[in-house]
């Protein structure tokens, strides 16, 4: 019996060792697979970054031609949009939805490469996502419409003026930045005043009870859905933004100062200009500048949302506001083309000269030699 027991123990031990060895082998294979996948991911990332740099260099080499093509397409698209706005205003929401689903994902890819992807967590993209849901899923929901109207004609619309968004047809990035803030207001303007379906809702056949769409029961109803509820939606975004950027991704941002956020960009510009916003944000000390930025942004949102109430009630005021927004972006675009762009061109040329000084000297010397030879040959021919 003892020998049989020893034999069984040996067999059990052998089987245990085999199982253990199999587990070890599998864990090694998993580790090797993970290592291989990580290496492949790194290689893929390097290949993609190299390709992106190559494309960027090629784009830089043909920058002027690309800018001309972009300007041409931008002007033509703007003209087509104006025609559509007058001929078929009910189709403007679909144009906006098409613009959003095409250009926002492309912008994420571009911003991810440039380390600007945290911009897509800003309030304008949060609001535009809500607009898309409203237009596609709940187009006849009056309360949802009023909340979206407040977002579009409140913080987004006034950001065009306050943050000096420039309509420059030769820059895709600037065009998209302007349209992200400008288009929603135009969309909700057309739905509010020009859409035939809205007219039918304003004056149903055989009755004259309703005089507007959305139907406004009174001042309290108006302020609730144009001010209080949108303000709650804004507060929710602000809390989520602070949690993601300043808590969950804080270490990532500290490790890489090249990763940009709205606060980083605005604070850099304000500090460089030493303007009133930089001085006001430092009232509680440098360590509380982020808090002051959040406070100022909150006050800006409250003020602009309150202004949507009179805009919502007056067609004339709403038309004037549309003209003001478009005029401001065109004005800032002209300022950019005449003041900022020449300085950028000069800086680029200086950088090129600093990077290739020998080449430039060789070119200048060769040009001088060629000129001298031409002069000599011309002089010989004349004599």
DSSP one-letter code for 117: G
DSSP designation for 283? T
| Integer Cα distance of 187 and 100 in angstroms | 13
**Domains of the chain by residue range:** 33-86, 88-350
Q: Which residues contact 240 (CB under 8 A, 6 or more apart)?
A: none
pLDDT of residue 46: 64
Q: Judge whether 170 and 74 are in contact, CB under 8 Å.
A: yes
Instruction: Check residue 382 and give its pLDDT.
Output: 38
pLDDT at 54: 59
The whole-number pLDDT of residue 144 equals 95
Integer Cα distance of 33 and 40 in angstroms: 10
> One digit per residue, pLDDT tens: the chain, 383 residues?
555 555 556 555 666 666 667 777 777 777 777 677 777 666 666 665 566 555 555 556 677 888 889 999 999 999 999 999 999 999 999 999 999 999 999 998 888 888 888 889 999 999 999 999 999 999 989 999 999 999 999 999 999 998 889 999 989 999 999 999 999 999 999 999 988 888 777 766 666 566 678 878 788 999 999 999 999 999 999 999 989 888 888 887 778 877 888 877 777 777 776 667 677 777 777 777 888 888 888 999 999 999 999 999 999 999 999 999 999 999 999 999 898 888 877 887 777 777 665 444 555 555 455 555 545 544 443 33
What's the confidence (pLDDT) of residue 378?
Answer: 43
**pLDDT score recorded for residue 232:** 96
Model pLDDT, residue 381: 39
């Amino acid at each position: 019996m003892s020998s049989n027991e020893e034999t069984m123990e040996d067999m059990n031990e052998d089987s245990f060792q085999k199982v253990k060895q199999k587990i070890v082998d599998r864990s090694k294979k998993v580790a090797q697979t993970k290592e291989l996948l990580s290496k492949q991911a790194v290689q893929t990332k390097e290949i993609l970054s190299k390709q992106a740099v190559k494309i960027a260099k090629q784009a830089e080499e043909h920058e002027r031609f690309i800018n001309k093509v972009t300007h041409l397409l931008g002007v033509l698209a703007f003209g087509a949009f104006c025609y559509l706005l007058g001929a078929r205003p009910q189709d403007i929401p679909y144009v906006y939805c098409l613009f959003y689903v095409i250009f926002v994902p492309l912008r994420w890819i571009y911003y991810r490469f440039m380390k600007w992807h945290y911009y897509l967590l800003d309030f304008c993209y949060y609001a535009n996502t809500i607009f898309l849901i409203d237009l596609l899923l709940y187009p006849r929901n009056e309360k949802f419409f009023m909340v979206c109207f407040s977002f579009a004609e409140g913080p987004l619309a006034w950001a065009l003026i306050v943050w000096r968004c420039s309509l420059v047809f030769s820059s895709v990035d600037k065009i998209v930045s302007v349209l992200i803030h400008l288009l929603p207001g135009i969309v909700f303007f057309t739905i509010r005043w020009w859409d035939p379906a809205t007219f039918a809702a304003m004056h149903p056949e055989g009755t004259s009870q309703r005089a507007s769409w959305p139907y406004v029961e009174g001042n309290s109803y108006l302020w609730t859905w144009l001010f209080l509820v949108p303000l709650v939606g804004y507060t929710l975004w602000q809390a989520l933004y602070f949690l993601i950027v300043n808590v969950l991704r804080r270490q990532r941002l500290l490790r890489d100062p090249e990763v940009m956020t709205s606060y980083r960009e605005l604070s850099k510009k304000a500090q460089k200009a030493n303007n009133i916003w930089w001085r006001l944000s430092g009232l509680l000390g440098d360590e509380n500048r982020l808090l002051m930025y959040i406070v100022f942004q909150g006050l800006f949102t409250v003020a602009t949302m309150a202004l949507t109430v009179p805009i919502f009630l007056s067609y004339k005021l709403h038309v004037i506001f549309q003209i003001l927004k478009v005029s401001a972006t065109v004005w800032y675009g002209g300022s950019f083309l005449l003041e900022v762009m020449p300085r950028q061109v000069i800086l680029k040329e200086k950088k090129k000269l600093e990077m290739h000084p020998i080449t430039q000297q060789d070119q200048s010397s060769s040009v001088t030699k060629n000129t001298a030879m031409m002069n000599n040959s011309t002089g010989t021919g004349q004599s």
